[in-house]
Structures are given as structure tokens and as C-alpha cells.
């Protein structure tokens, strides 16, 4: 279960960004994960509450977009969507392909509440 290690790394990244942005709360965390990243999205989501306990990232909603596995053929140059264990060209069947998607494990976006927004809110209520 290396998803816990990965999740702890994710929390550290969120904390750094939250600090830079003067955020008081993190609402939503967007990830893009490919089947060839070696990360099981369900296990990552399971690890999240544990790994984020006591941090600004705790309680945020985790939205995981699964990236498609795509290859570019070096023979016919077609770009096709393929299965994770069948990375041959979907057009001509050649196995000399380059992976162009499906192994990513990216933190893509964070929605957070900045301290300034909270102050403004307080003034308005």
C-alpha cells in the first residue's frame, strides 16, 4: 500500500500551496491519475482522511479524474486509446509506440478559501 506514502506527499504539496496562497481552508483537490501510474485511486482516496488529519487539507473533497491510456505509433503515427496491458498501436498493431498518456499522477487544481475572502465575508455579515 504505497498509496499512503503518495497521499502524504500530496498533503505536503497542498500544505505548501495553501500557505503560499494564505488559505484558511481547502475545499476541493483535483487529481489526474492514469492506470499506468501504479496508483490505485480507491486506495488513495481511502488514505486521504488519515494522511490529511490535522492539516489544512483535512475535510477537502478529493476529485480524481482517470486519465486514458494513449499511445502514438512510431510506424503509422496514429494516436489511439489502448488498454493498460496492451500498449500496441490501435490502428496498425505495431508495438513500437510511445506512451502519451495514462501514466500521470498529477495534482491538477486546488480550490481553497483565502484569508482575505474570509475577512471580507466577516465584514459583510
Q: Which residues bind Zn ion (CB under 5 A)?
A: 1-2, 73, 75-76, 78, 89, 91-92, 94
By CB under 8 A, residue 54 contacts other proteins:
no
Cβ closer to other proteins: 28 or 49? 28
By CB under 8 A, residue 6 contacts other proteins:
yes
**Partner in contact with 41, chosen from other proteins, Zn ion, none, beta carbon below 5 to 8 Å by kind:** none
What is the Cα–Cα distance from 24 to 120, expressed in whole angstroms? 13
Residue with cell 499511445: 71
Applying the rule CB under 8 A, the residues between 95 and 114 that interact with other proteins are 95-114
**Partner in contact with 59, chosen from other proteins, Zn ion, none, beta carbon below 5 to 8 Å by kind:** none
What is the Cα–Cα distance from 25 to 28, expressed in whole angstroms? 10
Residues that bind other proteins (CB under 8 A): 1-2, 5-6, 9-10, 12-13, 17, 21, 23, 27, 31-32, 34, 36-39, 67, 70-71, 84-88, 95-114, 117-118, 120-121, 123-125
Amino acid at each position: 500500500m504505497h498509496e499512503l506514502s503518495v497521499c502524504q506527499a500530496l498533503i505536503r504539496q497542498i500544505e505548501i500551496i495553501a500557505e503560499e496562497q494564505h488559505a484558511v481552508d481547502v475545499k476541493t483537490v483535483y487529481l489526474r491519475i492514469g492506470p499506468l501510474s501504479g496508483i490505485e485511486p480507491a486506495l488513495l482516496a481511502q488514505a486521504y482522511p488519515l494522511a490529511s488529519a490535522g492539516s489544512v487539507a483535512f475535510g477537502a473533497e478529493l476529485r480524481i479524474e482517470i486519465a486514458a491510456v494513449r499511445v502514438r505509433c512510431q510506424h503509422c503515427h496514429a494516436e489511439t486509446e489502448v488498454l493498460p496491458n496492451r500498449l500496441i498501436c490501435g490502428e496498425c498493431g505495431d508495438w513500437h509506440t510511445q506512451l502519451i498518456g495514462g501514466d500521470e499522477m498529477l495534482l491538477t487544481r486546488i480550490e481553497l478559501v483565502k484569508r482575505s475572502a474570509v475577512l471580507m465575508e466577516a465584514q459583510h455579515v
